Amino acid sequence: MPRNLRPIPNQSLAQQSYTQYTFEKYLRGVPPRNSMIGRILGERYQVEELLGEGATAIVYRAKDLRLQRTVAIKVLMPHVNETTRKRFEREALSAAQLNHPGIMAIYDVDKDREYHYLVVEYINGQPLHNLIPADPRQVAEIGKQICLALEYAHNTGFIHRDIKPANIYILPDGQVKIMDFGLAIPSDGEFKRLTAAGTVIGTPAYLSPEQAQGHPLDRRTDLYSTGIVLYEMVTGILPFDADDIGSILLQQVKKAATPPSQIMPGIPVTLENAILRALEKKPAARFATAKEMADALEAVLKEEPTPSTAKPVAAQPEEAPPYRKATTPLNKFDPTVRILLADDHNLTRQSLAYFLEDVPGFIVVGQAADGEEAFRLIGENKPDVILLDLNMPGTSGLAILPRIRQAYPDVKVLVLTGRDENTYIMQALRAGAHGYVLKASSEEQLEKSVHDVMLGHLVLGHGVAERLVQDLLERGPAQTPLDAIEKDILTCVAAGYDNPEVAHQLGMPENEVARYLMAIIDRLGVKSKTDAALMALRAGWISLEELHKF
């Protein structure tokens, strides 16, 4: 809470927090979600419809009364901290310098009374993930457009660093629009002054190896992420995927991608080569520029199209919905962040509580001294984030973490601990933690970590990423959990054979095949034999090339 206000006597910490929040909300005038409909901002933009809301901003459709055009307005919450406001301003400055048909345009940035807002292009299209999987020629065309937009951004001096399907929209005429340059960074070193070195923030499935290790980035990180997007488009699956964050990071750093043709036979060789080159682990082995990658994809389009007989291993998703209005995707977060503290040291909890209550928009809704109490308070107090210590008497944080993730999947778990051993980091991430931050972190770093976890980012605190990846590399590849017969069975499943056909191919009784499959599904923790085959393909345990022996 503000330093000039002290707790009301005999109030619980949660009551103090709620009282303070109510007072500050009234003082700052945080608007109800629809209260701005009909208002005119800056004597120019008439707000028409709520489109979405996030932890730090609300997005509306509006009418530019001066130019008579539809726009989208991103209104920053009045309670956000100075760090977030700087990031908001940086997003505006970044996007304002970018003027390209493949990049969402920014029109204006201003302030109306207490509201800071950003006016951007209204995107009337559909997210790229609606088109996955896609025809190879469509993949090449979309990929070429992405690369040309990135080439422009790179030459202007910016790296996006968060290329993924959710940040790419397709207009009805086929034009690609790259969105969310809020994570874009200047390539002149300014990034180092805005984000702590050694911190990983992003989407693990699309991180480049250098991002996963917290290394300096250049334009080639965007090419790697684009390669993952194109791989997913052409095959319907991600090249690197696992049930825990640590395994994904290790795959990004070390594991070669399975050639797309092994999953989707019949794709053009030129397209496969372009994708695999973009996915090279060493930046020097990738395309040198986005333009070079665009040229490689253009070569695919110049080839004579041939009918595709490819059958993806993964089941086809439901038909994509028709074109519809779309905006920057935002999760439905309340403007405030409700935080539960779990630590067995009373002084630590109290210090954290006083600090967090001093952050506008944060509410501490409870404190727990052990894992069981934390689990109970989650059900009672409905927090958005739990700051969880790992070592507590009774039920530890590490022991309670899997139960929290299973019972309360929407609650973000940010581990806050003094343990920096690699084994603890790996165990916490595998148990489902959304982030891992050390208690030695500064208050600013902790505040930023809470915000980033709420935005859906993986957060690895200062120094944690390097320890994690280095440890994974030193351990070497994991052992294949399948024996020879199980590999043969899953290879047949991946090729599309049903149980009787698998039995015929392998000369086994059908009931024996079923028994093996049940055991495999149980051991791998998946839901079906198809999921098991996909996991085996992704991990490199089986290959469709092995079908020749049947």
What DSSP designation does 204 have?
Answer: G
Q: In the chain, what percentage of residues exceed pLDDT 70?
A: 77
Range 465-481 average pLDDT: 61
The secondary element (H helix, E strand) that includes residue 371 is helix 371-381
Q: What's the gap between Cα 264 and its chain centre?
A: 25
What is the reported pLDDT for 119?
92
User: With contact defined as beta carbons under 8 Å apart, do 428 and 401 qualify?
Assistant: yes
Q: Which residue from 106, 31, 114, 98 is spatially nearest to 74, judged by alpha carbons? A: 106
Structure tokens at 503: 């039995």
Phi, psi of 368 (to 5 degrees): -130, 145
Select the more confidently predicted residue: 315 or 377: 377
Q: Which amino acid is it at 494?
A: A
151-165, 300-314, 316-330, 515-529: least confident range: 316-330
User: Is residue 380 very low, low, confident or very high in pLDDT (cuts 50, 70, 90)?
Assistant: very high
What is the reported pLDDT for 333?
37
The label of the residue with tokens 């109306």 reads: 112
What is the reported pLDDT for 110?
87
Domain formed by 40-121, architecture:
2-Layer Sandwich (3.30)
The label of the residue with tokens 């702590």 reads: 196
What DSSP designation does 20 have?
Answer: H
What is the reported pLDDT for 281?
94
Range 184-202 average pLDDT: 40
Range 20-49 average pLDDT: 67
Task: Examine the pLDDT at 440 and tell me if it is beyond 70.
Answer: yes
Burial class (CB in 10 A: 0-12, 13-18, 19+), 41: buried
Identify the three-state secondary structure at position 186: strand
CA distance 282 to 242: 22
CA distance 58 to 217: 30
User: With contact defined as beta carbons under 8 Å apart, do 55 and 454 qualify?
Assistant: yes
What is the reported pLDDT for 510?
87
Residues with a catalytic annotation lie at 162
User: Is residue 226 very low, low, confident or very high in pLDDT (cuts 50, 70, 90)?
Assistant: very high
Do strands 115-121 and 69-76 pair parallel, antiparallel, or not at all (unpaired)?
antiparallel
What is the reported pLDDT for 465?
66
Select the more confidently predicted residue: 86 or 301: 301
Q: Which residues have C-beta within 8 Å of that of residue 82, sequence separation ≥ 6?
A: none
Q: Which residue from 25, 79, 1, 83 is spatially nearest to 449, judged by alpha carbons? A: 83
Pick the CATH number of 126-302 from 1.10.3430.10, 3.30.420.240, 1.10.510.10, 3.10.129.10: 1.10.510.10
What is the reported pLDDT for 7?
38
Structure tokens at 349: 């909890």
Pick the CATH number of 484-549 from 3.40.50.970, 1.20.1250.20, 3.90.1150.10, 1.10.10.10: 1.10.10.10
Range 468-493 average pLDDT: 72
CA distance 229 to 205: 10
Domain formed by 337-475, architecture:
3-Layer(aba) Sandwich (3.40)
Q: Which amino acid is it at 302?
A: K
Domain boundaries, the chain: 40-121, 126-302, 337-475, 484-549
Phi, psi of 273 (to 5 degrees): -65, -40
